[in-house]
Amino acid sequence: MSEQVCRECHRIINGQTCPICGSSNLSADWSGMVIIIDPERSEIAKKIDVKVPDRYALKVR
């Protein structure tokens, strides 16, 4: 699996650069996956301060 995580915004992405923040500061060493589908009504999204639906990593090294 070549899934990497952007160190800036914690998004799980496929590719060499983060499509949202444009950063190429990626890490393959991450743990814990959160998928936010409905950020408006999700309590989890509020807790981790996420406003865009996407896949995120809880922890990035």
Partner 1 sequence: MGVIMTAESAIFVVKTTANQERSVANMITQSARKEHLDIRAILAPDELKGYVLIEAAAPEEVEQAIQTVPHARALVKGQSSIEEISHFLTPKPTVTGISEGAIIEITSGPFKGEKARVKRVDEGHEEITVELFDAVVPIPITIRGDTVRVLRKDEEKNA
Does residue 57 have a known ligand-binding role?
A: no
Measured between alpha carbons, how far is 30 from 35 in angstroms, rounded to an integer?
15
Does residue 39 have a known ligand-binding role?
A: no
Residue with tokens 């070549």: 2
What is the H or E stretch that residue 45 is in?
helix 43-47
Q: Which of 2, 16, 22, 43 binds partner 1 (CB under 8 A)?
A: 43
- For the record, the structure tokens of 48 come out as 């981790």
Q: Which of 20, 21, 28, 48 binds partner 1 (CB under 8 A)?
A: 48
Q: Given the rule CB under 8 A, which residues bind partner 1? A: 31-38, 41-45, 47-48, 55, 58-59, 61
